[in-house]
Structure 1
Amino acid sequence: MAGGSPSGASLVARTVAVLRAFDPGHRRLSLTDIAARAGLPAPTTLRIVRQLVDAQALTRRDDGTYVIGRFLWDVGLLAPVNTGLREVAAPYLQDLHAATRATVHLATRDGDAALYLDRLVGHASVPVVSRVGGRLPLHATGVGKVLLAHAPDDVRTHVLTHLSRHTAYTVMSPGTLERQLADIRRVGFATTTEEMTLGACSVGVPIRVRGRRLGEGSDAEVIAAIGIVVGSLRRDKSRLVSALHVAAQGISRELVTRGLTAGDG
């Protein structure tokens, strides 16, 4: 507001404009990019961005770019889409947990990370580093590889060129990982062997929703993944994959039956 302090309404509008600069095609933005996309002067953008970083609504990365922060993720968990997904998935996760006595996960993709919406801890002493609301790399986890296999091309390209090592068994070859992702799309599940944490193996499958429901605009869009973490996959992989597919199909059917869409309560 020229000649005086900006009104509360204009402050909110400017802050919303900064946040709306981020979208699925613009997950990482420089300060210059944010200012341009928000239509705001650079000094104003810098002031708002600093306040949002302080509030954990934005996170500044080592390369100087900004991404949506943890606070907005926590708030986002309250949104109808995520709440509905968690509520629908909960009994299926509980059944998987009871049948396998292993740690089970529900995750969605946020940029180049797997965001964990739910977790039930297994009975065996298998090391697990996930937590509800936490992020783990897409390329080193079972649910993450599923989500990466079905991610847009630009996301896959970014991940393949920014692979991080977590154990001696983490896949660090882009070519090898690309072949794994193609196999995942073909066979319908992903596995990892001590790629995120030593002593932990995982298997994950996609949750797909058809039609104009969650995943609007795609005939069968992968909106999430469920997975199981165990000490070894040598004996039980087929059984675990079958159990996961049954659960994923049940979740998908119920999401459509309930008519959950972005914005439904």
Structure 2
Amino acid sequence: MTGGDSMNSVLGKVQLILEAFGPDDEHLSLTELSRRSGVAKASVHRLAQELLAWGLLERRGSDYWLGIRLFEIGQRVPRQRILRDAARPYMEDLFQATGETIHLAVPDGREVLYLEKVSGHRQVTTPSRVAGRVPMHCTATGKVLLAFGPRNLVEEVLASPLERRTPHTVTAPGVLLNELARAKANGYAVEYEQTRVGYASVAIPLTGATGLTTGALSITAPTVRVDVDKYTGLLAMVSHRITKTLSAMRSSAEVL
């Protein structure tokens, strides 16, 4: 089945309808769902009734919202849930030690997907969100995932133009490759104002029980408060503990 055929199938149309909701959209009208998805209004209305029955959509007045059932299903994804559960206590420790925003991210295509976040009242402006996505090339988490991940992931990112998020975002492939080589040598990545002006992030890779890089952990703070040496020391200590926790969780699962 070709890509066009798959999008014309019932499941393909359902995918388009659900993906019509952007990260900042709490609710959409039937007309807007049809416009964004490219699915005929009558088909959107018919499929929406089934999605409402399944709990994948909710309706309030004339608008549609993503349903809580989607969240419940998402919590069952094994790899993501295990990594998040293992990392969350240590993320809270990092927050207590720094007072800054802590992110847990995994690769998803050419982007990083935030699995978890711990922050306080003085979090970054235009805040990130759990399940939010950001291009790999401009984030500290993305850079370490590229540096310590498979080579084909780097090639995939470089196959398309590198989006400029701020005046400081690296958009030249050669410069990005140099940054990745530096991250590989240092064991961590740092980005200054490449995602948000006025903020910087420090990130390290997280190693799973099998020894492969499974995610990345970062600390994000205003550039005036960033302490790279302190952050890398804390992140390194925490990463070892997370790896041990993941190994223990894997062993426990094998026993069960």
Per the normalisation by structure 1, the TM-score is 0.70
Tell whether 2:118 aligns with 1:156.
Answer: no
Q: Counterpart of 2:112 in structure 1: which amino acid? A: A
**Which residue among 19, 27, 50 is the counterpart of 2:13?**
50
Shift of 1:52: 2.4
Q: Given the superposition, is the C-alpha separation of residues 264 and 196 from structure 1 closer, same or farther in structure 2, using an over 3 Å criterion?
A: farther
1:198 alignment partner, SS class: coil
Tell me which residue corresponds to 2:203.
Answer: 204
- Name 2:96's counterpart in structure 1: 98
1:236 to 182, 204, 227: 227
Letter in 2 for 1:119: K
Match of 1:87 in 2: 85
- Separation in 2, partners of 1:177, 1:73: 36
Compared CA separation, residues 46 and 172, structure 1 to 2 (3 A):
same
Residue matched to 1:167: 166
Q: Show the counterpart of 1:246.
A: 237
**Cα deviations by residue, 1:83-142 (Å, 9 ceiling, x for unpaired):** 121111111000000000000011111111110011111454643531001111111111
Whole-angstrom CA distance in 2 between matches of 1:57 and 1:186: 41
Contact 1:126-1:199 at 8 Å conserved across structures: no
| 1:47–1:260 CA distance, 2 compared to 1 (3 A) | farther
Any gaps of 5 or more consecutive residues in structure 1? 1-30, 36-41, 60-69, 212-219
The answer to which structure, 1 or 2, has the higher relative contact order (CA under 8 A, 6+ apart) is 1
Q: Does 1:141 align with 2:142?
A: no
| Contact 1:115–1:133 under 8 Å retained in 2 | yes
Q: Which residue of 2 aligns with 1:227?
A: 218
- Cα root mean square deviation, aligned: 3.3
Structure-2-length-normalised TM-score: 0.72
Counterpart CA distance in 2 for 1:154 and 1:262 is: 31
Point out where structure 2 has 5 or more consecutive residues left out of the alignment.
23-65
Give the whole-Å Cα distance in 2 for the aligned partners of 1:108 and 1:222.
9
SS of residue in 2 equivalent to 1:259 = helix
CA contact (8 A) 2:100 2:123 kept: no
Quick check: 252-261 or 194-203, which moved more? Answer: 252-261
Paired residues, number: 211
Name whichever structure is richer in helix by fraction.
2
Deviation at 1:262, TM superposition (A): 9.8
